[in-house]
Chain A
């Protein structure tokens, strides 16, 4: 065991007052500078200014589309099963595309229950759900409006935002060669 001797404070330091005075002057400098130049504070005035979030941000969910605009989702229920918060509710319907049998008639995500764990994205074998919409303010005035429906999840986001960063996997790879692209 090695005992580390702390350096003994000098007389002036142990009197505190001089060092306290130095510290006070430092904070006063900040106050005066910030009163005179309020624009150089490192602050984002949030609702007016918004910071661009980087592409790999984990944000709110979105549903991916095929080329004809129908959802890639085949209502396999894997995401709803794996979800620890039980916030995904899927109602399956019969699809016109014979290769994939089912499609989600309803796809609701209760954002009040969601814990943003991202398990649904990992569970999905079809690359049909992603959590990359760079929105951090999921807020509303009523609880009903925070249950996001299929149409909202499919459409209300900027497609170009992530396209270059992480392009969707081809439908042939995930859904099989017979499915519509």
Chain B
């Protein structure tokens, strides 16, 4: 096949996948946020909306939300600056979808004489690209705050710009340390460096060689700064609803509000991808390198089947318990839903258990180990990202909001000096090494 055409196809397909990832994460995250907050506060959360009696534990609520948001009247205030008012939500959404383009989703596959990349662009300034694009996203919020000609939204926009700019400093400072350690700014190399075991001054530890173990202080600063960057709870001052009604998007309604809402969640996903790629080994499966995965697909299949079987069984038990305890509540399909879903999950698990002997005797085609490796690595990345997205939700419903001066004090007087000190010490160590 023509190699230029092949590359073009490769990039197009991966770009499409990368564009879909945050968009697919958004309903999941909204569901996670609602259900997680409900369970943290001992409530049930959304469980009423159903399609043919299936509620999927509140997931269907998202579809109702979409319908509602699309159907609502789209109000543009008379005094607003129309152009910027319309531009702002699209701007936020656009710049929360672009940065993922530089993140590798799985290791590159070498097949006969072509290479399939699972990354849209392998920039050698990937980290800087990521930063430049994410900092453009602030402009959307500032524009929304200013253009809607409302005091509350203006204050929200101002707060968010001040907060994001001051936290971007400590975030960048903490990541410079990583640049010093890895001596590269492209994500492929950074993720590849994190394979194998962690070496600590010549001693091999039983930990994976993740950025977190190399730079724990940088990770903590990055984590706190990422909460501030995405305007999430301990730092959600731009939309402190007790002070500012709703913050920068007071005047927005209908699908334009939904775009802001979605861009907030997309930002969470993007920051989680960055976090995982830099500190938690990206797509790398802990303790197992890409070469090992390609060499032993049978073991991978066995382990995968085992995991799926155990997960299916666990879900089966939890759902049956759930259904049994609430069996008197509902009628019709609603009553049987947990039992049906639980049985389905158990069935899938059993199929994978039965398939285990088949895996052992199957002569798979030559491309199969490569595809399986890519799939496993992508799954590993997604699992890590989901954990960090859950961390965002978890922290939001645990901690109270910071006051504005506390926020600024923390950012400028504590985090920035610590990040700088960390940078200094790391640089000295790297030079002496």
Q: Which among B124-132, B376-384, B392-400 touches the partner chain?
A: B392-400
Report how far A37 CA is from B324 CA in the complex, Å: 10
Residues of A close to B40: CB separation below 8 A = 27, 30-31
Interface residues as binary, A105-134 with B (CB distance below 8 Å gives 1, 0 otherwise): 000000000000000000000000000000
Whether B318 contacts A36 by the Cβ 8 Å rule is yes
Whether A45 contacts B394 by the Cβ 8 Å rule is no
Report how far A45 CA is from B44 CA in the complex, Å: 9
Whether B39 contacts A30 by the Cβ 8 Å rule is yes
Residues of A close to B318: CB separation below 8 A = 35-36
Q: Which among A17-25, A90-98, A139-147, A157-165 touches the partner chain?
A: A17-25
Closest to A47 in B: B48
Partner of B44, one of A17, A31, A36, A41: A41
Q: Tell whether B348 is near chain A: CB-to-CB under 8 Å.
A: no
Chain A residues 33-88 with CB under 8 Å of chain B are: 34-39, 41-43, 45, 48-49
Report how far A48 CA is from B318 CA in the complex, Å: 23
Q: Tell whether B36 is near chain A: CB-to-CB under 8 Å.
A: yes
Closest to B324 in A: A39
Closest to A49 in B: B329
Report how far A38 CA is from B327 CA in the complex, Å: 12
Whether B44 contacts A27 by the Cβ 8 Å rule is no
Closest to B331 in A: A48
Q: Tell whether A179 is near chain B: CB-to-CB under 8 Å.
A: no
Whether B398 contacts A23 by the Cβ 8 Å rule is yes
Q: Separation in Å of the B325 CB from the closest CB of chain A?
A: 4
Residues of B close to A34: CB separation below 8 A = 39, 42
Partner of A27, one of B220, B329, B330, B398: B398
Report how far A42 CA is from B220 CA in the complex, Å: 36
Chain B residues 325-379 with CB under 8 Å of chain A are: 325-326, 329-330
> In the complex where A24-B398, A27-B394 touch, is A43 in contact with B330 (Cβ < 8 A)?
no
Residues of B close to A42: CB separation below 8 A = 42
Residues of A close to B220: CB separation below 8 A = 17
Whether B399 contacts A38 by the Cβ 8 Å rule is no
Q: Separation in Å of the B320 CB from the closest CB of chain A?
A: 12
Residues of A close to B330: CB separation below 8 A = 48
Closest to B391 in A: A24
Interface residues as binary, B29-48 with A (CB distance below 8 Å gives 1, 0 otherwise): 00000001001111110000
Q: Separation in Å of the B212 CB from the closest CB of chain A?
A: 14
Report how far A38 CA is from B326 CA in the complex, Å: 8
**28 pairs, CB–CB < 8 Å, chain A vs chain B:** A20-B395, A20-B398, A20-B399, A23-B399, A26-B398, A27-B394, A28-B394, A30-B40, A30-B41, A30-B42, A31-B39, A34-B42, A35-B39, A35-B318, A36-B318, A38-B44, A38-B322, A38-B326, A39-B325, A39-B326, A41-B42, A41-B43, A41-B44, A42-B42, A43-B42, A43-B44, A48-B329, A48-B330
